[in-house]
Structure 1
Amino acid sequence: MHILPLLILPLLSTASVLQHRYDHDHSHNVKRNLPSTWYHHPSHPVHSLFRRDENITYAPVGSTEWAAGYPPDPPALPDVKTIPAEWLAALNDAIARKAIPDIPLSKNTTDDGNPVYPTGVDPNSPEICSSTYQCRIPGDVWDAPAGFLGLSFDDGPEAGSGKLIEFLKTNNQQVTHFMIGSNIRDNPDAFIQEFNLGNDIAVHTWTHPHMTTQSNEQVVAELGWTMQIIHNSTNGRVPKFWRPPYGDSDKRVTAIAKEVFGLTTIIWNQDTDDWSLTDSPPGTTAAKINSSMHQWLTGPKTPGLIILEHELSNQSVATFMSAYPVMQQQNWNIMSLAQLIGQNASYQNADNSTSPVNDVNIINAKSGSPPSAPSSTSSTPTNLQASGQPSVVSSNPSPTSSTKPNSASPRWVMGPTAILSVAVIFMLWR
């Protein structure tokens, strides 16, 4: 009779171990299929790199202490020597797995503004696939679904942000802001207002360089510091999307964004050139933009529209305001771009800017829906105060210097085989 516990114990132990592996298995044990499938496990770097410590009192957004935690003013690029070791470890891990293509860097040119690759390197080749040269990397987003228009604005917070904020508020319209990290640091009040409107915050690098000209470490710094300031200033949200400045990316840059930080690259299929309205002389005019907008908005709805627009100036925002009624009259399904592409999930660990922030968010990017996996809610965010005093924000502690291990206890569940085995043994024992 005493043999029963001895027979059952290994089965119970096996069931417990199997379930523990399901809950906490390291992502290296999951077959990778870049870029169509991206797994976020609790142990994946994107969670450990940007995990908040509830025992730390974070400096308010806009405070001197908050701003001091980030790289100095552009045009100087972020110093790669100050990159947190955890970010570099994630990069080196991806390189070791051969997930980051080893391709040459491009160089800036004074001719047409497009960076050029070394002689003999074809930017449209499958190995390079430069988006500057209109090569589309599988998994990168260029088009909206048919009938949809994804709204987004680059380069904020900037001079035109105030005018844009008032218009969006009046029309109860949400958009995605692809923000420059240093602009967030320098314009915290506008950032707070845009976030508090429920708009989605995405990444547009720290200093706005041509990303294919940057080394692997520089790409990590440009993305990582921008993610860090967004994360620390939005109650812990981890951005899900990024847009390369000038639309300049290739397979190497896109892979670093995806493999190290879990970011999906979004480009566009129509360009207003509104950024050049305030150039001297102007590179375009409001009349030209209005004409282009009318053509796009009254034309075919397949594919849907992703229009490049900026909140750089009141002039650029005014061209959007003029086109907005046409968007409505032409019966476009108008959405914030991050909500549209993310299928109602704008962040890697939160549905939107007002929803709870999750500790774990395992997403299958191919289907757009989370598979069955444990997920816990850590907090429900409170809007940041207009005075610049948010409820929970961060200066910039080293991303994982005070990271606490996942405290969630693994669930013990017996699988069907284990249950059947126990039942058979019990019957024999009787």
Structure 2
Amino acid sequence: MLALTVLLLPLLSTASVHNHRSHDHSHDAAKRLPNTWYHRSDHPVNSLFKRGAATDGVTYAVVGADGWAAGYPAGPPATLDPSSMPAEWTAALNDAVARKAIPDVPVSTNANGSPVYPTGVDPNSPEVCSATFKCRIAGDIWDAPDGYVGISFDDGPTDASDTLLDFLSANNQPVTHFIIGSNMIWNPAQFTKAFNNGDDMAAHTWTHPLMTTKTNAEVVAELGWTIEIIHNSTGGRIPKFWRPPYGDSDARVTAIAREVFGLQTIIWNQDTEDWSLTNTPPGTTPQAINSSMTQWLTGSKSPGLIALEHELSEQSVASFIAAYPVMKQNNWKLASLAQLMGNNASYLNAASSTADVIGFSNILDAKGGAAASAGGSSSSAPGSASAPAGASKT
């Protein structure tokens, strides 16, 4: 079902995916600088995105060119149609369910922007462990290492991304972008600019929903199409991390992300609430964000800081730019979140956005199904540096 030319999907209004709630060009991959990266080649996700290497003879469409946005879900749907996704994704999900790797957690309902589980289901129980209710699943990431700020931005690419990217480039500061897949249709130039800056790309779903309100197949579609558009627009790179919109994940959703796509879930330990700056009325102010960031950055460095920040508006970007000198003045080590938590590996099949992509055979067919160990299958890059490859060079 996956064609040999990289194509994308048409049109979803960005306004429909920016409803946060108050809990919380031309591109040629061959030009990338070579690097060394060791990865277990039997990871099942590599068979789900078959255009895995720039050297496998595949022609990648120019990001943003005519035809680039064809072949993806028509929009704007309230819910992605799982029946339209590649059969390989469905097979991988069915395999994970058959292996009993996906917990039988009830789907929640959306009640005014918050997930509500059926009567009698405890969201803080080990069986459910909802991140919305601050329950931490083993293996999910909430904290950075002591002394580090893992820098990332949600909801890009947007019109505001240009201001952010110019600032980051001027300061030689790599970061991670948690990408809304459908936003790339509207803002391909901003995505390309971020990637060419060397920033890391991670998944933030296609339509930005409360993920625990989605069925198993819908979760796969939200993640799969987002991985696909990133993969097809970066010369074949497969994201290693994802962040659930609104921080809404639980044992079931986390397991699907891990078992089907090899994704590790990243939440945060501080919320700037910068996404609400443009609400009517605003949910916070630049002064309030500055006060919170100053408090966090002048306080304890244990644990390290993962702050929820957005490239959603010029106001949210300005809040980060105002806080950046405070990070430097207080001697935090600054790193792209994916590099920092990925042990110097931003992707499942590449060390970074500037390193070579490793090619893979169709492992799923060869093994007759997805491997049981879908999570944690990538090894760290050889050698142990004192600072991650994505750390600030200034």
TM-score bucket of the superposed structures, by smaller chain: 0.7 to 0.9
Q: TM-score, normalization: structure 1?
A: 0.74
- The answer as to whether partners of 1:364 and 1:370 remain within 8 angstroms in 2 is no
- The answer as to whether partners of 1:210 and 1:245 remain within 8 angstroms in 2 is yes
In 2: Cα distance, 1:128 partner to 1:74 partner: 31
Letter in 2 for 1:291: S
- What corresponds to 2:44 in structure 1? 45
Letter in 1 for 2:86: P
Give 1:72 deviation, angstroms: 2.1
Letter in 1 for 2:208: H
- What corresponds to 2:122 in structure 1? 122
Cα deviation 1:75-102 (Å, max 9, x = unaligned): 5322111011100000000000000001
- What corresponds to 1:401 in structure 2? none
- The answer as to whether partners of 2:159 and 2:187 remain within 8 angstroms in 1 is no
* Cα pair distance change 1:367/1:199, threshold 3 Å: closer
Letter in 2 for 1:72: A
Give 1:125 deviation, angstroms: 0.2
Identity score, percent: 66
In 1: Cα distance, 2:117 partner to 2:140 partner: 21
- The answer as to whether partners of 1:272 and 1:308 remain within 8 angstroms in 2 is yes
- What corresponds to 2:142 in structure 1? 142
- What corresponds to 1:343 in structure 2? 343
* Cα pair distance change 1:84/1:241, threshold 3 Å: same
In 1: Cα distance, 2:324 partner to 2:172 partner: 12
Cα deviation 1:10-37 (Å, max 9, x = unaligned): xxxxxxxxxxxxxxxxxxxxxxxxxxxx
Letter in 1 for 2:304: G
Give 1:69 deviation, angstroms: 1.8
- The answer as to whether partners of 1:363 and 1:369 remain within 8 angstroms in 2 is no
- Superposition RMSD in Å: 2.1
Give 1:55 deviation, angstroms: 4.0
- The answer as to whether partners of 1:203 and 1:243 remain within 8 angstroms in 2 is yes
Q: Which moved more, 1:261-270 or 1:54-63?
A: 54-63
Structure 1 residue 101 and structure 2 residue 103: aligned? yes
1:1-400 map, 5 Å: 42-52=41-51, 54-110=56-112, 113-359=113-359, 365=376, 369=380
Cα deviation 1:309-345 (Å, max 9, x = unaligned): 0000000000000000000000001000000000110
Q: Which moved more, 1:312-321 or 1:41-50?
A: 41-50
Letter in 2 for 1:246: Y
- The answer as to whether partners of 1:178 and 1:243 remain within 8 angstroms in 2 is yes
Q: Any idea what SS the aligned residue of 2:110 has?
A: coil
* Cα pair distance change 1:299/1:360, threshold 3 Å: farther
**Number of matched residues?**
331
In 2: Cα distance, 1:366 partner to 1:228 partner: 20
Cα deviation 1:221-261 (Å, max 9, x = unaligned): 00000000000000000100000000000000000000000
In 1: Cα distance, 2:292 partner to 2:213 partner: 31
Give 1:185 deviation, angstroms: 1.9
- The answer as to whether partners of 1:203 and 1:242 remain within 8 angstroms in 2 is yes
In 2: Cα distance, 1:368 partner to 1:348 partner: 9
In 2: Cα distance, 1:369 partner to 1:170 partner: 29
Structure 1: runs of 5 or more not aligned = 1-39, 372-430
Q: Any idea what SS the aligned residue of 1:257 has?
A: helix
Q: TM-score, normalization: structure 2?
A: 0.81
Q: Which has the higher helix share?
A: 1
In 1: Cα distance, 2:360 partner to 2:115 partner: 38
Q: Any idea what SS the aligned residue of 1:351 has?
A: coil
- The answer as to whether partners of 2:274 and 2:316 remain within 8 angstroms in 1 is yes
Letter in 2 for 1:365: G
